[in-house]
Every structure is written in C-alpha cells, then in structure tokens.
Amino acid sequence: MTGPDRPPIVTIVTDVTGGSATGSITTDHPNAELTVALRDLERVGRAAPPAKRVEPPAPHRTTRAERRAMRKARPKKTQVQIPEVRLGETATGRPIIRPIHDDVEGWFNVARRTFGTVSDSFARTQIRFLLRGLRTAMFGESTDAVEMNAALAQIAGIEPKNELEAALATQMAVTHVVAMRLLGRAGTTDPTLPHFAATGLVTAKFLRAFAGQAEVLAKLRRPAVQTVRVERVEVQAGGQAVVGLVNNNKLPRRRGAKQLARRAHGTQDE
C-alpha cells in the first residue's frame, strides 16, 4: 500500500548523555514529520524520586512545671462523664453503636444526663442523629469513634437542661464539624481556582450558623425580664398620680408614706 492511505512507519531514536535525554521521532509518511526534544529522564520513563518523610521533632523531657500542671489537670470525680461509644457496621453498611463498657444501665444513665432528659428513646435518637450528621459532615468519609466521642463531649460540655437544649446542642456539634471540615478544604485549595471563593462563602455561612445557635442557646437560658412601658398617663379632676422614679430607700421607714404623699400634693415638710 502506497500513498497517504498507508499506515506510517515511525522511528524513535533516543540518546541519553549526562543525565538528560534527547530523542527524535521520524516517520516516512509523506504528510507528517515530527521532531521532539526530551529534556528530562522522567519524560522517557524513569520514575521520579520518592518524597522524603518529614518526622516531627522528638519530644523533650518533661519539666517540673509541666508535671505540676499535668497533675492539676487530671480529671476529677465531679467532672461531667461522657457516654462514649464504639462504632461498627453491618454487612449492608448500617451503623452499629455500642457502649464502651459492659454496664449498659450505667451508660444509659450517663447518656440521659448528657442530653438533659429522662427518656432512653430520646437519648438513643439523638445519638443516632449525631452519627448521621457526622457522616454527612465527613463528605462520604467514614466516622470513627474518636470523632463521635468528641462530639458527645461537646454536647456534655454544653450541659443541656431539657430536650430542647439537647436538640440545639446536637445541631451545634454537627455544625461545628462541618465548618471545620470546610475550613480544612479551603486551606488546601489553590486561591486562584474558581471554587475557592465558593468554599469560603459556604464556610462563613456555617460559622455564622454556629454563632447563631450559640446565641439562641444563651437566650433560652437567660432569665425572663418583664418590662412595663407607660405610654400615656391621664389624671382626672380630683385624682392624684406620681410620675417618675420613686425610691423609698432614702426616706425614713416611719415617715416614708407621709413624705411621699406630701410630695404628691406638692407640699413640703414644715
């Protein structure tokens, strides 16, 4: 077969000298002629050297001040306990949640106290919701027991007093994890890429949502203050009224009522 329809015959010649390679690709096809220069040995098949592992510095010997601080930081018996769990999965991928120890009744006591409820069903449901929320926050990655127990510790630190505060605390724990994951993604993304700005915008929304949830929790725990606002005062003929701040602490106990009445009538003590 001759002419432009026949397959080309390609010849590759490579010369390796001094750590660099120069090659040429030629063909006898009448309509194609190629020449290429290969500058690196990696371009002709040599693998790049493996990356070096950077180890952290070796830990220093504990000082006396550090030992004293660690003794003070040891957990006390009066501190809040956490219903820690162990996680697993069934063959179909459904999560398995089990207590960390064999005292199931004691574990449920701690779980009920953590979520501020007397209902086992509510505590179970909130733990399941927490695990599902964390799985969603991990963007498809598996959730380990460390992350789950950390979220439970955050809820225990909030110390919800009832089911409403417990539901809000669960939402705060999941929102915090999502915000931190998004911050980590934004830190590893090239700022010149288009989705960097979108990631930062979504991260800011989750951070504002967490701050809003904390404000709602503070409002729920804030004592109610009743304020009476007087818009208009009318005094009819023969009536009496005192308008303004009245403080009886400065008046004598026995004569306080009399002096207040004289002030209302506009008279002074003799």
Higher model confidence: residue 7 or residue 91? 91
Q: Are residues 148 and 212 in the same domain?
A: yes
pLDDT value of residue 253: 55
Farthest CA pair distance, the chain: 137
> Quick check: pTM over 0.85?
no
Residues 33 and 97 in one domain: no
Contacts of 262 (CB under 8 A, 6+ apart): 268, 269
Q: Is there a domain that residue 200 lies in?
A: yes
pLDDT in tens, 99-141: 988 898 999 999 999 999 999 999 999 999 999 888 876 665 6
Of the candidates 123, 119, 120, 134, the one whose C-alpha atom is nearest the C-alpha of residue 156 is: 123
Q: Are residues 90 and 167 in the same domain?
A: yes
Is residue 78 predicted with pLDDT exceeding 70? no
56 pLDDT above the threshold of 80: yes
* Burial bucket for residue 202 (CB in 10 Å: 0-12, 13-18, 19+): middle
176 vs 253, residue with greater confidence: 176
Q: Look at residue 37 and tell me if it is in a domain.
A: yes
Has residue 149 got a pLDDT over 80? yes
Average pLDDT, the chain: 76
Identify whether 210 is part of a domain: yes
Q: What pLDDT is attached to residue 39?
A: 45
Q: 138 in a domain, yes or no?
A: yes
Q: What is the rounded average pLDDT of the residues 174-197?
A: 81
Phi then psi for 26, rounded to 5 degrees? -125, 155
Whether the predicted pLDDT of 259 surpasses 80: no
- Count of alpha carbons within 13 angstroms of residue 91, beta-carbon side: 0
* pLDDT, greater one: 160 or 240: 160
Provide the residue range defining the domain that includes 16: 10-43
Q: What is the pLDDT of residues 200-241, one digit of tens each?
A: 888 899 999 999 999 999 999 988 777 777 777 777 777 777
In a shared domain, residues 92 and 191: yes
Q: Stretch 135-156: mean pLDDT, rounded? A: 81
Q: Let me know whether 27 and 92 are in one domain.
A: no
Q: Both 18 and 128 in a single domain?
A: no
The mean per-residue pLDDT over the stretch 66-85 comes to: 81
- Answer yes or no: is 184 within a domain: yes
In a domain, 178, yes or no: yes
Model confidence at 260, pLDDT cuts 50, 70, 90, reads: low
Q: Of 179, 199, 221, which one is at a domain's C-terminal end?
A: 221
Task: Check whether 252 has a pLDDT greater than 70.
Answer: no
Q: Measured between alpha carbons, how far apart are the two ends of the chain, in Å?
A: 137
In a domain, 68, yes or no: no
Q: Please report the pLDDT score of residue 247 as a whole number.
A: 64
**What integer pLDDT is reported at residue 79 of this predicted model?**
65
The mean per-residue pLDDT over the stretch 181-204 comes to 79
Comparing 137 with 255, which gets the higher pLDDT? Answer: 137
Model confidence at 66: pLDDT above 60:
yes
